[in-house]
């Protein structure tokens, strides 16, 4: 087990500086353009692939950092550059985590490389869980997966929504219900291979923020996939369903992680790190502006009303980062989240990001309300952190249930 420390080692500092340089030199100069275009920034993704940031090897190295800080450090720097473009670069990672959390070694080796492609032909992947009537309420999921034993195929039908890279992905990871009577315990994850008939893109959403990231519906109409595309395999699924049915028959509840929740639990501290990156970026713009903007013959930072805001902003950002790092270290060290520390990190960091970016707009005044300054975009981008991968309300519910042991509703 790695000893906890707040000091990054030399290798981590080198990686951090490398990613920061890419964010400053490549992502930031392109941010405003792709936000306006509301399109996937393929040229930037390709540049990330060429230098090795958009690759399976890079994320594997950060994922297996023994301190647990590799992923949050990378996320913070990329999202410091721009949230929309960064999400286009890292969005594939959510699907990859879905495979890592639920798949066999063979499935991991087969499908994750196809999610990224290579520097000359970049690909993206999509994780499809939410539905029009089932966002936080995953037990209401309607997408069905039915096993055709004669052909050893699964048949998927339903509509997914809010899917990052949905419809344009090379590989889709789809969470579907295989036994509706078991609610969320009757879910499983499936790989939909490239060019599978029956999968199509539905509505592409025009969003308030993170507009460089493609978000759309995914429609599944009699999508047939090989039996081997069930993540984890059918034997493992059958055993899990049998246990859940037995417990249900006895009137007992079994704390079984469903396919979607396993993915979200693994990614929540990373989302917190994204929020920290956006907050830090807005804070830095506001700090520089306050030191150079003069009113009444002096820089506005000389006024306590501004200076104290900046002091609070920096304090909250650092506190959020510490919660993210703690959760990441606990996860890699095998320490259980007895107080829902992963949800704590995501909740606090996302709320801080919304607050700090709003304060940055206020400090810049009228300039902050225009697109001539990046804090306007950062403020719009920050709104997503309290919504996706579990709203702030859901995070509070998870924390409260964990602390109390009670089924709070």
Catalytically active residues are 389
Please state, in angstroms and rounded to a whole number, the distance separating the CA atoms of residues 17 and 119.
22
Going by DSSP bridges, is the β-strand pair 153-164/215-226 parallel, antiparallel, or unpaired?
antiparallel
Give helix 341-364 / helix 392-404 axis angle, nearest 10°. 150
Distances from the Cα of 405 to the Cαs of 250, 348, 358, in angstroms? Answer: 20, 21, 35
Please state, in angstroms and rounded to a whole number, the distance separating the CA atoms of residues 282 and 354.
10
Structural contact between residues 141 and 134, judged by C-beta atoms closer than 8 angstroms: yes
Please state, in angstroms and rounded to a whole number, the distance separating the CA atoms of residues 217 and 237.
27
Structure tokens at 321: 């980062």
Q: What is the 3-state secondary structure (H, E, C) of 232-277?
A: CCHHHHHHHHHHHHHHHHCCCCCCCCCHHHHHHHHHHHHHHHHHHH
Going by DSSP bridges, is the β-strand pair 171-177/125-128 parallel, antiparallel, or unpaired?
parallel
């Amino acid at each position: 087990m790695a000893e906890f420390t707040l000091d990054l080692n030399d290798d981590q500092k080198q990686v951090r500086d490398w990613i920061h340089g890419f964010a400053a030199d490549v992502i930031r100069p392109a941010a405003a353009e792709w936000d306006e275009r509301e399109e996937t920034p393929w040229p930037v993704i390709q540049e990330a692939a060429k230098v090795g940031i958009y690759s399976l090897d890079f994320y594997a190295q950060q994922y297996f950092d023994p301190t647990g800080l590799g992923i949050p450090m990378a996320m913070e720097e990329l999202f410091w550059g721009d949230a929309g473009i960064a999400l286009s670069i890292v969005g594939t990672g959510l699907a990859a985590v879905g495979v890592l959390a639920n798949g066999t070694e063979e499935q991991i080796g087969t499908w994750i490389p196809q999610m990224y492609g290579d520097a000359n032909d970049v690909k993206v992947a999509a994780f499809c869980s939410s539905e029009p009537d089932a966002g936080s309420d995953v037990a209401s999921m309607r997408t069905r997966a039915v096993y055709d034993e004669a052909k050893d195929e699964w048949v998927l039908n339903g509509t997914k929504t809010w899917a990052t890279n949905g419809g344009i992905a090379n590989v889709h990871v789809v969470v579907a219900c295989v036994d509706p009577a078991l609610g969320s315990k009757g879910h499983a994850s499936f790989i939909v291979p490239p060019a599978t008939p029956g999968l199509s893109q539905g509505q592409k959403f025009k969003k308030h923020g993170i507009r460089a990231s493609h978000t759309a519906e995914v429609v599944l109409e009699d999508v047939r996939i090989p039996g081997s595309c069930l993540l984890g395999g059918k034997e493992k699924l059958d055993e899990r369903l049998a246990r859940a049915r037995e417990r249900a028959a006895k009137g007992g509840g079994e704390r079984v992680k469903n396919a979607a929740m396993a993915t979200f639990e693994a990614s929540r501290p990373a989302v917190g790190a994204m929020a920290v990156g956006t907050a830090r970026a807005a804070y830095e713009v506001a700090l520089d502006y306050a030191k150079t903007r003069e009113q009444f013959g002096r820089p506005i930072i000389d006024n306590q009303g501004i200076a104290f805001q900046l002091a609070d902003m920096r304090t909250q950002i650092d506190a959020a980062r510490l919660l993210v790092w703690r959760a990441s270290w606990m996860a890699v060290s095998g320490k259980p989240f007895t107080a829902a520390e992963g949800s704590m990190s995501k909740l606090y960091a996302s709320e801080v990001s919304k607050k700090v970016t709003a304060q940055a707009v206020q400090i810049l005044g009228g300039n902050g309300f225009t697109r001539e300054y990046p804090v306007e975009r950062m403020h719009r981008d920050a709104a997503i952190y309290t919504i996706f991968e579990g709203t702030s309300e859901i995070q509070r519910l998870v924390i409260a249930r964990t602390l109390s042991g009670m089924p709070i509703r």
